[in-house]
Amino acid sequence: MRGPRRMLARKMWNYAGLAVLVTLAGLAVAPLLHILYLVALKGGEAIARIGLRRFLTESPHPFDPSDPGGIGPALLGTLELAALTAAGATLIALPAAVLISELRGSRLSRATLLLALTLVEFPTILVGLTVYAVLVDHLVGRYNMLAGAAALAIVVLPYLVVQASEALRQVPEGVREAAYSMGAPRTTTVYALIAPAARRGILVGLLIGLARAAGETAPLLFTIGGAYEGYHLCLLREGGAVPLMIYQFIQMPYQAARELAWGAALVLMLIVVTVMVAARLIVREVRM
């Protein structure tokens, strides 16, 4: 009889353990689900009342409850910042990633990797303050979109450096050996063969960094100013962005401003989710 009783006791303990794990997992996921639900509910209601086309294209009217307008200039500013950030971060991160992967084991390589890992946890508000002191206060003299892109590029930089260096390391050694056997210089081998072979991994790092930067508000507080009156593409003028707009409008004591903030939050959430899903799909297709 002891055998069946022990088996029953083990099954009961197993079921109890699974129940505890499921409960803890549910508690961990519950805050995220609540955030998604709340943003989707309030943001969806705001966009439905204003109209999707108007919400995505018109300028905001935060003081007019009958016609709140939309987030068009802020959305354009976010796309402009994303493009500039991607270009700037890639120009700096790719040589750093090559240094880490090609000179692995050297002091310079280890120091570069350590610096990149440190930047991951570096307070972004200090990044914004530093860029403000250099690009806004001393060089340009006013808030500008270029300063915002520079701040976000610093935020993206460590993610791209770490991911790109790992992608470069995963390229088979035979590719390098074949290039060297044909007399190709090291620089040509790295940038003409190794980097293109690791392009999917590099793109994943860029997308992850952009997803992080898309929701950043602190660096933009000191750099772009927050201008939503009209459309422009001048890099040395004030501009707007969706996360900064959310931060500013949700604090206003006006119903129209809060509706715009909730609708913008839903748009921002969809942007981040789309970028992360794209990064996940690219990871699945990576073959080295």
> Which of 225, 80, 211, 209 has its CA nearest to residue 154?
209
Bridge partners, 177 (sequence order): none
Residues 204-233: pLDDT tens digits?
889 989 988 888 898 999 999 888 888 888
- Tell me the three state secondary structure of residue 121: coil
The answer to whether the pTM exceeds 0.85 is yes
* Mean pLDDT (whole number) for 61-72: 90
* pLDDT above 70 for 284: no
Instruction: Of 142-146, 231-235, 239-243, 257-261, give the lowest mean pLDDT range.
Output: 231-235
How large is the angle between the packed helices 255-285 and 2-50, nearest 10 degrees?
130
Separation CA 72–CA 76 (nearest Å): 6
pLDDT number for residue 2: 60
Pairwise CA distance, residues 187 & 114, whole Å = 24
Q: Enter the DSSP assignment of 225.
A: B
| DSSP-derived 3-state class of residue 60 | strand
Q: Three-state DSSP class for 69?
A: strand
CB 134 within 8 A of CB 195: no
Task: Give the CATH superfamily of 72-285.
Answer: MetI-like (1.10.3720.10)
Nearest Cα to Cα of residue 149 among 248, 239, 75: 239
CA distance linking residue 59 with residue 46, whole number of Å:
15
CB 78 within 8 A of CB 241: yes
Least confident of 85-89, 108-112, 183-187, 267-271: 183-187
d(CA 158, CA 149): 15
**Distance separating alpha carbons of residues 90 and 7, to the nearest angstrom:** 58
Tokens of 3: 């055998």
Q: Using alpha carbons, select from 242, 286, 244 the residue that is nearest to residue 268.
A: 242
Say if CB 71 and CB 87 are below 8 A apart. Answer: no
Domain borders along the chain are 2-52, 72-285
